[in-house]
Structure 1
Amino acid sequence: MRASRGLTTPPRWAVLERELFAVQDKAWRIFSDRYTEDDGRLVFRDRLGEGLDGRDGVDDFYEAFFNWPTLYLLGGSDDVLAAARGHWRGVTAQLAEMGMLVDGFERGYDWFHQGEGMLLFYGLCLAEPGDGELRELAARFADLYLPGGPNYDPEHRIIRAPHNGAAGPRWGFSDHDVYFPWSLALRPYGLPLDWIDEAAPFDELAADPRRARAYGRVMWDRMGRGDTIVNLAATSLVTNAYLLGGEARHADWVVEYVNAWRQRLDGRDVVPDNAGMHGVVGEHLDGRWYGGHYGWSWPHGLPPVGTAAIVGASNAMLLTGDPSYLELARNPLDVVLRQAVRRRPAEVPTIIKRWRPHLRGLEHEPTLMAPMRRDDSGWFDHTIMPTQLPVALWQFSRAAADRERIDRLREESSWDWTAVHTQRTKEESGHEEPWYEYLAGRNPGFPERMLRSAIDTCAQRVESIADDPVDPAVGPDALGIHDWQDRNPVVTEALLQLTTGSPQVLYNGALAQMHLRYFDADRRRPGLPADVAALVSSIDAGHTVVELANLGEAPRSLVVQAGTYAEHVIHTVRVDDEPPRPVEGPYVTVRLPGSTHVRLTLTMTLRGGRPTYAAPPWEGTR
């Protein structure tokens, strides 16, 4: 394809998009200079692994750079990928010295946190799929969960413990003899197992070591062994190995393990959150389908359960093409929505900061709230449903029922879904609603507002780095390691939405699910070429629309790929108003002379091809 329309006045969205790339290319260097050593590790003179828990913190080190490979994949500089790789190596060595890793992998912790920490590694693998070191590590990490590895019981199809990793099952929640290891930060969530004899209010147990040990011992027995639903995030680790190497054993395990959870749902209204050492739901919880670690009862409920279900189901569907797997993902969302009620935000103490800008001035206006958790008393902890879950599911499936679920949330919300708020969560998400409205044709000014917001967020993070009072030669203590995430100036949500037609990756361990990807055909690397901007305004399989603009004078060539993994099949492409041309493959090559603009309309079949990390065949692309 060749662009022929000249640009007299560059589109404002295109100018802002290239500005966002430019400001981030400066910002990540400021972060790196301030917070890292010459060998890539973070400046940190304290230690991990010495508290009552002794297992937490690995993810926080990797999370400081989690989206840097994504910036490169979208069109960021070569340097940002080299920096991300260097920081990953440096942090890995740093954590190994602290005894937190074994052979480069987490010694053993829950997959709610491990999934967060693995995002940097997944991004590097996607950016450099031909790298031998990454391929070898990906296969070795995956083998920890395959039959014959230390974590998986193939007879009962369980991951043996909620805490697991390179050292195999890490029973219980602490390596110390105090079995009540959590800090007061968990006090707002209460405690699990409120039905056991040893249960008591949080403050009472915290003040009485003897009672705390007795309670913690019961938690160890009932929640510290057996499978838990958040372990479904481990399917991304194994799917990543498959996409790099194409070995059937990796795909086979993902299907086997997801099927085990599907069968635990079969015949139930609600997907359970636990299975005992013999694969039986409720085996250690007196028959309860709720009560597992990071499950329906404690500490968060739907966010980890829903994320794990979507991650496992989408990985299985990606590898098999079978859409029935997505019923596992839909179940948690539909279950809580059946219990949803309209409440005033002022009456709900658990509204998180993600929603405060949306609800400002509407505190007394009823809005739809769903229960996040379930225990013996029933469903409780009503709050606003995390929109990233139904939006991620719909973007993956493109099914009418998944769109209808979002439409119900929109119709029963009290706030303006078109508004763009300059806010930043550690997940680097939070703008799903205005993006969804843009795709629906109800928010035409979204691209410019979203890009300005991202530029402002990046500037705020750079300012916070300059104002950081922590001694740069010493770094934070173990309680301050989240500050790196809060100050990371790389912001990719806007670029993912606008250039690829995709939401931010689900943070607790998902793989990227981009509708479109780009490769610089001249430089043979991922991402948009220099001076080129892209805007996806429709992601319907039968009518995907993307505009491409070359703001520079030099000609550029790029490959448009359907899907993160070339898994979609493009049937036809129409250039501007010309007749459609046949494609029947995952790639379209576009030539953009200087100062030109083109609009492509694609028809495609989702997941009609075999997914792979491999780069496009470069012959004939220039």
Structure 2
Amino acid sequence: GALGLCDHKDLDYERRLRKWAGLYMNEDPEAPNYDPEHKIIRSLYNGSRGPLLRKATALDWTGDPIEENRFVLLHGERNYQEMLAHFKDYTDIIGDHPSNLVATGLGYDAYALTGEEKYRNWVLEYVDAWADRARENNGILPSNIGLDGKIGGACDGKWWGGCYGWGFTTVIPQNGQPAHRNTVPLGIAGFGNALLLTGDQSYVGVWRTMLDAVNMNKKETDGQTMYPNMFGDEGWYHFTPEPFANGALNIYFW
């Protein structure tokens, strides 16, 4: 959406931006994605048709069958059955997830184009709610907020739960190897947008605090410091020699 700001007098662009931002402000009756009471986007699976409020299936993610050898499958699967197998564990999508903070880009662009405060207000309301959740969760953004607004509310109270969450490790179908797919770091987009709208460095502070909170769980293994990247039922795991630094370069420049 941001490229269109180069031609800010294009009425079609303005119409599209208002429509897209409105999908997360309940301006489209067919897309009640946002809950203003709990300040959540109600599902990880959301958009112009509204939130998916049941467990997702592999078919939801994969789509219709395809002819073998007709397309290049970028995840490395070799056929449609392996595509389905790839998504078999992608079920827990009910409730909010930090990657939904990417949607604040739509509100930011709409505000940049129109100057209307409702777009700015929505971005800040939503980001502030996530900042509060991080503070409530020892500085770490939880990866599931239930429809009741509670941390882990759709995942048996587990703050690390949910599809693409802190504990989301799946199996690559073609080789049986584990794949760690934590997309919580996508949420930095929302904090960057809030910083642009306010100049308030406390939004950067939320992210900096999270990096510190994760890395403080480092451990020594054979004389080498190892840092965690994931958290599950047994605690921190997927340790690597490099610190957890997702978004560190962003906040360095901010």
The two structures have a TM-score, normalised by structure 2, of: 0.75
Letter in 2 for 1:315: N
1:288 pairs, out of 155, 158, 172, with: 158
Give, in whole Å, the separation in 2 of the partners of 1:377 and 1:231.
Answer: 26
Is the counterpart of residue 260 in structure 1 residue 129 in structure 2? yes
Letter in 2 for 1:173: A
Give, in whole Å, the separation in 2 of the partners of 1:175 and 1:342.
Answer: 39
Matches for 1:314-329 after TM superposition, within 5 Å: 314-329=192-207
Q: CA RMSD in A?
A: 3.2
Q: Tell me the residue number matched to 2:36.
A: 154
Q: Secondary structure at the match of 2:227?
A: strand
Is the counterpart of residue 338 in structure 1 residue 196 in structure 2? no
Is the Cα–Cα contact under 8 Å of residues 211 and 244 in structure 2 kept in the other structure? no
User: What do the CA deviations read for 1:534-554 (whole angstroms, capped 9, x no partner)?
Assistant: xxxxxxxxxxxxxxxxxxxxx
Give, in whole Å, the separation in 1 of the partners of 2:243 and 2:13.
Answer: 37
Displacement of 1:178 = 10
Is the counterpart of residue 132 in structure 1 residue 43 in structure 2? no
Displacement of 1:236 = 1.2
Give, in whole Å, the separation in 2 of the partners of 1:145 and 1:282.
Answer: 22
Matches for 1:468-483 after TM superposition, within 5 Å: none
Give, in whole Å, the separation in 1 of the partners of 2:111 and 2:132.
Answer: 24
Is the Cα–Cα contact under 8 Å of residues 236 and 315 in structure 1 kept in the other structure? yes
Is the Cα–Cα contact under 8 Å of residues 144 and 162 in structure 2 kept in the other structure? yes
User: What do the CA deviations read for 1:324-346 (whole angstroms, capped 9, x no partner)?
Assistant: 222322233112211234668xx
Letter in 2 for 1:140: K
Displacement of 1:257 = 0.7
1:393 pairs, out of 245, 251, 254, with: 251
Question: Per the alignment, do residues 242 and 296 of structure 1 end up closer, same or farther by CA in structure 2, a change over 3 Å counting?
Answer: same
Letter in 1 for 2:25: L
Give, in whole Å, the separation in 2 of the partners of 1:368 and 1:331.
Answer: 20
Structure 2 portions without partners, runs of 5+: 63-72, 170-179
Q: Tell me the residue number matched to 2:147.
A: 277
1:374 pairs, out of 212, 231, 237, with: 231
Give, in whole Å, the separation in 2 of the partners of 1:286 and 1:343.
Answer: 32
Give, in whole Å, the separation in 1 of the partners of 2:196 and 2:220.
Answer: 36
User: What do the CA deviations read for 1:151-178 (whole angstroms, capped 9, x no partner)?
Assistant: 1111221111111111111344348489
1:312 pairs, out of 164, 177, 190, with: 190
Give, in whole Å, the separation in 2 of the partners of 1:286 and 1:254.
Answer: 28
Is the counterpart of residue 228 in structure 1 residue 97 in structure 2? yes
Q: Secondary structure at the match of 2:148?
A: coil
Question: Per the alignment, do residues 382 and 243 of structure 1 end up closer, same or farther by CA in structure 2, a change over 3 Å counting?
Answer: same
1:241 pairs, out of 106, 110, 125, with: 110
Give, in whole Å, the separation in 2 of the partners of 1:327 and 1:257.
Answer: 17
Q: Tell me the residue number matched to 2:68.
A: none
Letter in 1 for 2:44: P
Letter in 1 for 2:207: A
Displacement of 1:235 = 0.8
Q: Secondary structure at the match of 1:274?
A: coil
Q: Tell me the residue number matched to 1:592.
A: none
Question: Per the alignment, do residues 186 and 284 of structure 1 end up closer, same or farther by CA in structure 2, a change over 3 Å counting?
Answer: farther
Q: Tell me the residue number matched to 1:250.
A: 119
Q: Percent identity?
A: 36
Q: Which has the higher strand share?
A: 1
Q: Secondary structure at the match of 1:374?
A: strand
Aligned length: 221
Give, in whole Å, the separation in 2 of the partners of 1:338 and 1:325.
Answer: 21
Give, in whole Å, the separation in 2 of the partners of 1:263 and 1:227.
Answer: 14
Q: Tell me the residue number matched to 1:173.
A: 56
User: What do the CA deviations read for 1:478-517 (whole angstroms, capped 9, x no partner)?
Assistant: xxxxxxxxxxxxxxxxxxxxxxxxxxxxxxxxxxxxxxxx
Question: Per the alignment, do residues 387 and 373 of structure 1 end up closer, same or farther by CA in structure 2, a change over 3 Å counting?
Answer: closer
Matches for 1:184-583 after TM superposition, within 5 Å: 220=91, 223-269=92-138, 270-299=140-169, 300=180, 304-308=183-187, 310-341=188-219, 369-383=226-240, 384-385=242-243, 389-396=247-254
User: What do the CA deviations read for 1:378-404 (whole angstroms, capped 9, x no partner)?
Assistant: 1111123465621111101xxxxxxxx
Letter in 1 for 2:143: D
Letter in 1 for 2:50: G
Give, in whole Å, the separation in 2 of the partners of 1:248 and 1:280.
Answer: 28
Displacement of 1:265 = 2.1
Is the Cα–Cα contact under 8 Å of residues 111 and 117 in structure 2 kept in the other structure? yes
Give, in whole Å, the separation in 1 of the partners of 2:199 and 2:112.
Answer: 15
Q: Secondary structure at the match of 1:227?
A: coil
Give, in whole Å, the separation in 2 of the partners of 1:379 and 1:314.
Answer: 27
Q: Secondary structure at the match of 1:371?
A: coil
Question: Per the alignment, do residues 343 and 136 of structure 1 end up closer, same or farther by CA in structure 2, a change over 3 Å counting?
Answer: farther
Letter in 1 for 2:193: N
Is the Cα–Cα contact under 8 Å of residues 341 and 370 in structure 1 kept in the other structure? yes
Displacement of 1:274 = 1.0
Displacement of 1:128 = 3.0
Give, in whole Å, the separation in 1 of the partners of 2:20 and 2:167.
Answer: 30
Give, in whole Å, the separation in 2 of the partners of 1:276 and 1:315.
Answer: 24
